[in-house]
Amino acid sequence: MAEDNDSLPTLHPVAGLRLGTTCAGFKVPGRRDLVVCALAEGTEVAAVFTRNAFRAAPVQVAEAHLARCAPRYLVINTGNANAGTGQSGLQAAHETCELLAAEAGCDAQAVLPFSTGVIGEPLPMAPMREGLPRALANLDEAGWSDAAHGILTTDTVPKGDSHRLLVDGKPLTVTGIAKGSGMIRPDMATMLAFVALDARVPQAVLAACLERAVEGSFNRITVDGDTSTNDACVLMATGQGELSVERAEGPTFEALCAAVGEVCESLARAIVRDGEGATKLIDVRVEGGRDRAECLQVAYAIAHSPLVKTAFFASDPNWGRILAVVGRAGLEELDIDAVELWLDEVCIVRRGGRAEDYTESAGQAVMSRNAITVRVVLGRGEVSDHVWTCDLSYDYVRINAEYRT
């Protein structure tokens, strides 16, 4: 059953990787909700997982399997997170791997399971048993778009990005998909993200590339400050292309990191832009800090403030709310006379108070935009950092109030 893929860019196939998607019926009949990804032999895989103490059963199993052998298959279901399910949840995650392994003819430990959806409900195995053969039958190198739809939960649009480029004169393809809309402060990766490339990259080098990409993308987004139990980001290198990157240093490695980072950043911004009920994408930039930690401390304080986020939803230039958050963010010995606050090109605060040349109409013009940069200049150092977030609307409350109904 074809779905509307118009909101996705062209997602280039990655040689050595095939995806199959089907409607298994985990939650909504007729909706794609089960994805299988088949990896060519020799594919290297790196992943990062949630830091939430209540890690979902599939996270625990995927991490354990990845440490033991090279994965050959990934399986992703939506509609049920298989989190907060105790020993029975672990059994269900292991059974999922065993079912796929039996169908595909591989070791169960070569399967990595991923789940997303409602927390605390047992994972139904009947849809898994019935759906896995259909998903495997649908495996296709061109299956990225259907897979992007198949991993969604409360998302309103699928999320994907893809690039083809030359590195050292050799072609490189990087393609990725992600899901995420609410319960977003990844603190490691995102809700779920799967990125693949066709270069030959040793696992340790791939892990270094993923760590850098995640830190500059998925670890710089927040919708509501909540870290999920199921977060995972997987980077796969099939080795089916001409490019080889053997060391985690040098210009070739830097070019690889830039390409993977660009895809991850695009996916991260798409998650925030599609935040539950969101109407605005907000880039909170903090400059002039003593270190990165205090820059992020201020940025997250702004990004998580309900008062600030609701003002953005209302397109209200209520700059006092931002000023108050900077003041209570917890920086010691903050010289308020050195602080500046900007909305895009408009300075709203200078020398501890409202900027002399600021006008309400100028602030209103910026707040009416659907993408806004909040810039805070602390005036106490040379370090800067930023966080992407979104506004807080009526629909965020409605979506989460109705999530299980």
Distances (CA, A) of 114 to 37, 226, 301, 355: 11, 19, 31, 50
Query: Which residue, among 161, 174, 194, has the nearest Cα to 256 in the 3D structure?
Result: 174
DSSP 226: P
Among 190, 229, 238, 389, the active-site one is 190
CA gap 62, 46 in Å, rounded: 11
Residue 279 appears among annotated catalytic residues: no
> Which one, of 119, 113, 130, 36, lies nearest residue 82 by Cα?
119
Q: 219 Cβ partners below 8 Å, 6+ apart?
A: 186, 187, 188, 189
Taken as a whole, the chain contains a residue count of: 405
- Distance, in Å, from the CA atom of 391 to the CA atom of 215, rounded to the nearest integer, reads 23
- Tell me the C-alpha distance between 368 and 363, whole Å: 9
| Amino acid at site 34 | L
Longest dimension (CA), the chain: 72
Within a 10 A sphere around the Cβ of 30, how many other Cβ atoms? 8
Q: Is 242 helix (H, G, I), strand (E, B) or coil?
A: coil
Cα–Cα distance measured from residue 303 to residue 307, given in angstroms and rounded to the nearest whole number: 10
d(CA 113, CA 117): 14
Nearest Cα residue to 186 out of 59, 322, 89, 39: 59
How many C-beta neighbours within 10 Å does residue 348 have? Answer: 23
Catalytic residue set: 190
